[in-house]
Amino acid sequence: MYLLYSALLTAAMVLAMPFWLWQMLRHGKYRTGFGERWGRVPRRILEQPVQPTIWVHAVSVGEVLAVNGLIEKLRLKFPGNRIVVSTTTDTGQKLARERFGEQNVFYFPLDFAFAIRPYLKVLKPKLVIMAETEFWPNLLRLAHASSAKIVVVNARISDRSWPGYRRFKSLLRGVLQHIDLFLTQTEEDKHRLLDIGAPESRVQVSGTLKFDAPEPTEPAILAELKMVLVMEGAGPVVVCGSTVEGEEVLLAPVFAKLFKQYPQAVVLLAPRHPERFDSVAALLEQQHLRFVRRSQWSGSGVTGLILLLDTIGELSALYALADVAFVGGSLVPRGGHNILEPARYGAAIVVGEHTENFRDIVELFCRQDALLTTNPNDLEKDLLGLVADEPRRIALGQRAAEVLQTQNGATERTLAAISELLH
């Protein structure tokens, strides 16, 4: 089976190569860490002292934030161990290096035996932790063969991936046997894992690590903006975070109406993907909306304009400024993004109807009347209505913060289960 899988993976890589090359040339994607992805262990990893190692894989920014608290507790629980972190995306890599040190972070190798073996040979991990749902057959097989324990934490089976997993569950069953422990976000995720072949004795519900994510480090711009907002008497502040293609064009008319009704309003707009910063700036210009790019902001004059966040890693903390927070990837069918970041600050949260990637979190907030769901047709009415209704807006944000506080503890449960496995 693994030979067939590797052959299919090779064919897929060959077919995808033109796209990869285009992304490398056009946007610079995949260029950084290219050698690491193909099995070249970076010098910064090789130069560290030999220690028992725990390898944590977190795909992107969301997963890095989710495992941040767990990694800190693992360091305290197992002080004689080195913890290394791999990521897939450039944004995840940048954040992981900031959080865990450049000497402990590298790009996740492609799932070919020749790319994985050098890392296993150098690291000799006693434990491999995969965040959320990362079922890479060759990595799991080779790590298991090297006597490493394998744990999937914060495990979930999204609505989008669920049909595909079921279709290939006869093949997945063998792959899942290599995993020693699955710690799922919800009972529903547990049932789905059991259905596709995970051994029942190895599956536990531990909760969602993202509820326990520590507060983000405050970027310098946060204090600057707070001061400028007060000095200029600016407001209300609307933060639109993690927007994806097709959403800014829906939001632009709403922004125009907002500024017409509230000349002192401020919008913080943060596209999800860095390669889209230029195209979003062009769209705002075409719509004749006043904006300034964060990278060019002089430190004053924010009223009545859009601050386009063309930087990485600042959005999470800037939700603290929001009167209303729209969380993107949800007006169009992209599955949505993390609503816990604005909830932490008691912002009134608005999402679209496409929130499959965070279905259980969104359902929990909906049951507590702690967020507002909208659609492209009602976006203007709902968003501007919330801006205008201060008591409702404040109550919505307070309920969101309360829901977040009631869900703590997943990190401790995850740590306890891992400790029991290792002992």
Please tell me the distance from the alpha carbon of residue 24 to that of residue 241, in angstroms, as a whole number. 25
φ, ψ dihedrals at 159, nearest 5°: -60, -35
φ, ψ dihedrals at 203, nearest 5°: -110, 125
Average pLDDT over residues 147-174: 89
pLDDT tier, 423 (very low <50, low <70, confident <90, very high otherwise):
confident
CB within 8 Å of 362: residues ≥ 6 apart: 336, 339, 351, 355, 371, 373
Cα 363 to Cα 18, 337, 371: the distances in Å are: 40, 14, 10
**Residue 4 confidence (pLDDT):** 64
**Residue 195 confidence (pLDDT):** 94
**Residue 393 confidence (pLDDT):** 97
**Residue 7 confidence (pLDDT):** 72
Residue 160 reports pLDDT greater than 70: yes
Q: Which of 261, 247, 256 is nearest to 332 (CA)?
A: 247
Residue 201 reports pLDDT greater than 90: yes
**Percentages helix, strand, coil for the chain, rounded to the nearest 5?**
50, 15, 30
pLDDT tier, 193 (very low <50, low <70, confident <90, very high otherwise):
very high
Going through 121-168 in order, the beta strands assigned E by DSSP cover 125-131, 149-155
pLDDT, tens digit (0-9, with 9 covering 90-100), for 279-293: 999 999 999 999 999
Please give the torsion angle defined by the CA atoms of residues 92, 210, 160 and 353, in that order, rounded to the nearest 10 degrees: -110
- Here the tokens at position 248 are 């800014």
- DSSP at 267: E
Residue 31 reports pLDDT greater than 80: no
Please tell me the distance from the alpha carbon of residue 71 to that of residue 268, in angstroms, as a whole number. 31
- Here the tokens at position 98 are 């900031």
Please tell me the distance from the alpha carbon of residue 363 to that of residue 69, in angstroms, as a whole number. 24
pLDDT, tens digit (0-9, with 9 covering 90-100), for 346-397: 999 999 999 988 887 898 899 899 999 999 999 999 999 999 999 999 999 9
pLDDT, tens digit (0-9, with 9 covering 90-100), for 80-104: 999 999 999 888 899 899 999 999 9
Task: Identify the helix (H) or strand (E) that includes residue 237.
Answer: strand 237-243
**Segment among 9-18, 187-196, 233-242 with least mean pLDDT:** 9-18
**Residue 32 confidence (pLDDT):** 79
**Residue 358 confidence (pLDDT):** 84
The catalytic residue positions are 63
User: ω into residue 236 within 30 of 0, thus cis?
Assistant: yes
- Here the tokens at position 380 are 């203007």
**Residue 27 confidence (pLDDT):** 61
**Residue 369 confidence (pLDDT):** 95
Q: Which residues pair with 106 in a beta bridge?
A: 86
pLDDT tier, 405 (very low <50, low <70, confident <90, very high otherwise):
confident
More confident call, 239 vs 20: 239
Residue type, 398: Q
**Residue 28 confidence (pLDDT):** 63
